[in-house]
Structure 1
Amino acid sequence: MDRRRHPPGLTFADWHAADGWALRRYDWAPDTAVAQRGVLLFLGGRGDFAEKYLEAMAHWRARGWHVAGIDWRGQGGSGRLLADPLVNHLPALDPLLDDLAAFAAALAPRVAVAHSMGAHLLLRWLAERGGALDAAALSSPML
């Protein structure tokens, strides 16, 4: 996989949180020749962006999952929090948890794969917000 190019079929669009904040959403539907398994919510960690995980997303997509997720506030292709685009200061994780809850409600994922801060937020969404999934795979949850 050429990490310098977006693979065919991977799309990006703006998704707006309840407060109007613009986040970059990504979707990568599986090939029609593969048995469709549903939506897989893919969540990166602090300072991450979708392109960092192209190989991992391709793995799940090849197995029939529609991979979808967002770049967190202030990260990747999402809107910045401060005037300096190289600084990502966030005084609390609650806005990110709100974003996850709203995005997951609109997406209705069956499963999730999450890393680090994304795994932390996923666990909080499940425990504190009544999130529901068939399964989740967490890598290095930031606990």
Structure 2
Amino acid sequence: MSLIESRLAELGVTLPDAPAPAANYVPYVVTGNTVYVSGQISMQDGALITGKLGEGMTTEAGAAAAKTCAISLLAQLRAACGGDIDRLVRVVKLVGFVNSTPDFTEQPKVINGASDFLVAALGDKGRHARSAVSAASLPLGVAVEIEAIFEIA
């Protein structure tokens, strides 16, 4: 087991298989030492986490949904690295989209669910630049979608 996967196991997380794309795109692109991972939607155990923040979904539930996106991002990274996720040098950037009402303003707290998890799992390698924005809706009605850029060795 890799060092990163051992740390994830300590946190009670096992990486799933990388989710297949839902449309006409690739799940990731590797160019040089950079991996661009397509947006990963909030889902757990194969079930979509749907909802709209500010309308029946709490910030805490949104943060939990964002964490599931981060887990999928790491699963895609592992696939991009041919199974060797320990090639990770650092998380460079996250771009998080939150399905929310126009008056909802806690997008950063929602995306913290992913950011906090990545730092807990990866230490300094998990610290990253980030954007957290609102969307009127997201694919399949999911609560959160997050894309990422990683540096690998």
TM normalised by structure 2 equals 0.32
Please state which structure has a larger fraction of its residues in strand.
2
Please state which structure has a larger fraction of its residues in helix.
2
TM normalised by structure 1 equals 0.34
Quick one: higher RCO (CA 8 Å, sep 6+), 1 or 2?
2
